[in-house]
Structure 1
Amino acid sequence: MRFDCFEVERWMDLYECTPGILNVAETCAESVSIDQLIQLSEDKATNPLQTSTVLTYGAIRGSSTLRQRIASLYKGEHLSAESVLITQGAIAANFLVFYGLVGPGDHVICVYPTYQQLYSVPESLGAEVSLWRLQPENGFVPDVDELEALVKANTKMIVINNPNNPTGVPIPRDVVYEIVEFAKARGIMILSDEVYRPLFHDGIIEDNANMPPSVADLGYEKAIVTGSLSKAYSLAGIRVGWIASGDEAIIERLAEARHYTAISVSQLDDQVASYALSPAVRGPLLRRNVSLARRNAAMLAAFVEAHSSVCSWVAPSAGTTAFIRFHDTDGQPVDDVAFCRDVLDRTKVLIVPGSHCFGRGVDFAGYVRVGFVGSSAVLDEALQKLGEYVRQRFGL
């Protein structure tokens, strides 16, 4: 088995421990402690950790409480606790889906740009992958008409990422329906990496009629979703993710594959995750993070507007990331790798080069990814320093 270097994770591994950095490459909403979860909770009597628990492996597929709370995140009655597998983060969830369902002779269609894992892992397993290219002139929204030219007789799976990393653009409601109908008519599985759901900047589901549905909401039995507590829920440190599908055969197949990679997740992590998804905590936590995303997105928008002669973007409306293109005054894209390294050397601001970490060849030249839903204070300082750098570099 051969695999490509996972460039974005390698970049983070190389640079995020640099002393004194202002890390706006991070993609999680500002992390919280267990004490902060308790402060946010509307039920102060419930303890997130049962300290008398004997630390066995615990429930192999995840506790019934956690799996039921995850199932309840999706609409309809076709998902239950038995429809959910708990994994060590969404990165393990995505890997298991490919490991269990894709191999030589299969064809996969994957949106692009996206998290490299979603196309590199199926390639490493011997599948052929066609990239479904998202265009800035189309607002980085996938064009369903293009699927007709990409689909093949052996297409096994369509892979989407909603909201998208790195662009921060969600797939709109009508397009999600079209993708599902396209796949359903041909019996093709859909994997939807929804790790940034439900962090939509115009509000959480209880007060957001425009929120696009999860593919798990639409009753298609070959739809598979992955998610985690890391991004929208600020809990990367507990390493809890999941796979959900209404197809019992898919879940059982992936449960068998999972035996080769994990016995169970930590009981302590399971308890914290269950607490975070309880009705008393989930709403306040998401409202906190939506408010943080709105505030920080406005700061980033002001930066882009102030430097619009040398940078442009499709403004993000969901998730935690933005994809910004830097170019010379004549419109030529910067060398984004050299740009990001020079920014880090001169300002201690850490950002991610787009062509290197999200593209192949010259794709996305000049783009950088910014993670903007961390600390507002860190983002503010980073944008001030980045602004000074940009004005000096481009002579503004």
Structure 2
Amino acid sequence: MVRIAPFEIEQWMDKYETTPGVLNIAETCAASVSIDDLVGLCEDKDAPGPLTLSKPMTYGAIRGSQTLRERIASLFDRVSPSHLSADDVIVTQGAIAANFLLFYTLIGPGDHVICVYPTYQQLYAVPESLGAEVSLWKLKQEQGYVADVGELEKLAKPNTKMIVINTPNNPTGSCIPRPVLEAIVAFAKGRGIIILSDEVYSPLYHSLPHGKEAPPSILAFGYEKTVATGSMSKAFALAGIRVGWLASRDKSIIEAVAAARDYTTISVSQLDDQVAAYALSNNVLPALLRRNMELARTNLALLSGFVTKYSSVCFWEKPVAGTTALIQFRNKGRPVEDPDFILDVLSKTKVFFMPASPCFGLGNDFKGYVRLGYVCHTDVLKTGLAQLGQYLEQHLL
């Protein structure tokens, strides 16, 4: 029997994000858009809308429509020396399904997996539940939460089958620079290890240091045994359509995942497929990404000002990408008990964000840290930070 640990972050979200009157700055998606918003962003006002209502609602294309898979593949063209084809893409119910299917297909007892940490719990808990041994590749704040490739030699074993990375990273908002990605690929290629890169927050590289270019996808380095997953939820502000993908140039991986998928969801909703394809069209995508990048930059400046104002009790490594920040709060020099802190803030102010120690940490890791999602609507963030500031002044300062 498969035994899987409780998915802490999802349980916290399910329990508290619907609190009446909540100011939700825990959400990790760029502020969600409506179908009407998408139509308003379309640069060709005479273009067809997102839905063909006369289309019969069959299962549709099992791996995703040709149009959608082509448009997902084109997302990788900006950073790849060779074109990705629609046949290299499988459409799934969110990136969470893409990740799960890959693990379910490829990982089992006797395998060893290396996974960056902290990251989304799924990425190490699911391989472990399938019987694999998992080693955590710990990211350090003093190194900007960038993986140290030198540690791979110590972590790797003869049975290491997969290295799992997450860039931009949830919860830290860091990203892996191109030279580090190149080194990871070289290490894996020399040993025949598969690399899974969860790129669900790409391409929100909104605050890189001056002169630094956005790093490419893991698929850009010419190593066939690489897999990238992503979705419409985070960077594209469309979590409600539940569309994600898995992409790889390794045909054997694509076919194995497709075969396993036959036992689960068969296909995604045709309506969702159409909306995703519309959002990724040349008429809509540029404006949608501009909107989300501007929102991220505006809101990160607000959050940075908040951390500076309350620097006696707030400590962080400022994010450079994605939608999340990892912040530690201290009371009289000691880390707060973050689950209690979160619940007390929620009860007194209606402001909600996530405790990091139960949701991203093992043991005492990340005590006092919280994950805050800052690419919500700006007025929500402003109000939430104002309320949180008043709480800090009354209880921690």
Same fold (TM over 0.5): yes
Unpaired runs of 5+ in structure 2?
none
Query: Residue 227 of structure 1 aligns with which residue?
Result: 230
3-12 vs 67-76, which moves further: 67-76
CA-CA distance at 1:301 after TM superposition: 0.3
Equivalent position SS for 1:369: strand
Contact 1:32 1:234 in 2 (8 A): yes
Equivalent position SS for 2:284: helix
Of the three residues 134, 137, 141, the one matched with 2:142 is 137
Query: Residue 36 of structure 2 aligns with which residue?
Result: 35
Query: Residue 130 of structure 2 aligns with which residue?
Result: 125
- d(CA) in 2 for partners of 1:216, 1:274: 21
Query: Residue 238 of structure 1 aligns with which residue?
Result: 241
Are the structure 2 counterparts of residues 78 and 107 from structure 1 closer, same or farther at C-alpha, using a change threshold of 3 Å? farther
CA-CA distance at 1:202 after TM superposition: 4.2
User: Alignment length, in residue pairs?
Assistant: 391
Taking only aligned residues, the RMSD between alpha carbons, in angstroms, comes to: 1.2
- d(CA) in 1 for partners of 2:46, 2:278: 12
Does residue 94 (structure 1) correspond to residue 107 (structure 2)? The answer is: no
Query: Residue 353 of structure 1 aligns with which residue?
Result: 355
- d(CA) in 2 for partners of 1:18, 1:25: 13
- d(CA) in 1 for partners of 2:270, 2:212: 36
Query: Residue 81 of structure 2 aligns with which residue?
Result: 76
Of the three residues 178, 188, 201, the one matched with 2:183 is 178
Contact 2:357 2:368 in 1 (8 A): yes
Which whole-Å deviations, capped at 9, do the CAs of 1:87-140 have from their partners, x for residues lacking one?
A: 000010100010001000000000000000000000000000000000111111
Which whole-Å deviations, capped at 9, do the CAs of 1:32-68 have from their partners, x for residues lacking one?
A: 0111111111122221111111100000000001001
Q: Amino acid of the residue matched to residue 371 of structure 1?
A: G
Query: Residue 279 of structure 2 aligns with which residue?
Result: 276
Contact 1:78 1:246 in 2 (8 A): no
Which whole-Å deviations, capped at 9, do the CAs of 1:315-344 have from their partners, x for residues lacking one?
A: 0111000000111232x1110010001010
Of the three residues 159, 164, 168, the one matched with 1:159 is 164
Q: Amino acid of the residue matched to residue 272 of structure 1?
A: V
Contact 2:207 2:319 in 1 (8 A): no
Does residue 266 (structure 1) correspond to residue 269 (structure 2)? The answer is: yes
CA-CA distance at 1:376 after TM superposition: 0.3
Q: Amino acid of the residue matched to residue 45 of structure 1?
A: D
- d(CA) in 1 for partners of 2:378, 2:110: 48
Q: Amino acid of the residue matched to residue 18 of structure 1?
A: T
- d(CA) in 1 for partners of 2:86, 2:111: 30
Does residue 5 (structure 1) correspond to residue 10 (structure 2)? The answer is: no
Query: Residue 321 of structure 2 aligns with which residue?
Result: 318
Q: Amino acid of the residue matched to residue 267 of structure 1?
A: Q
Query: Residue 334 of structure 1 aligns with which residue?
Result: 336
- d(CA) in 1 for partners of 2:207, 2:149: 25
CA-CA distance at 1:77 after TM superposition: 2.6
- d(CA) in 1 for partners of 2:212, 2:57: 42
244-253 vs 35-44, which moves further: 35-44
- d(CA) in 2 for partners of 1:364, 1:260: 38
TM-score by length of 1: 0.97
- d(CA) in 1 for partners of 2:391, 2:151: 40
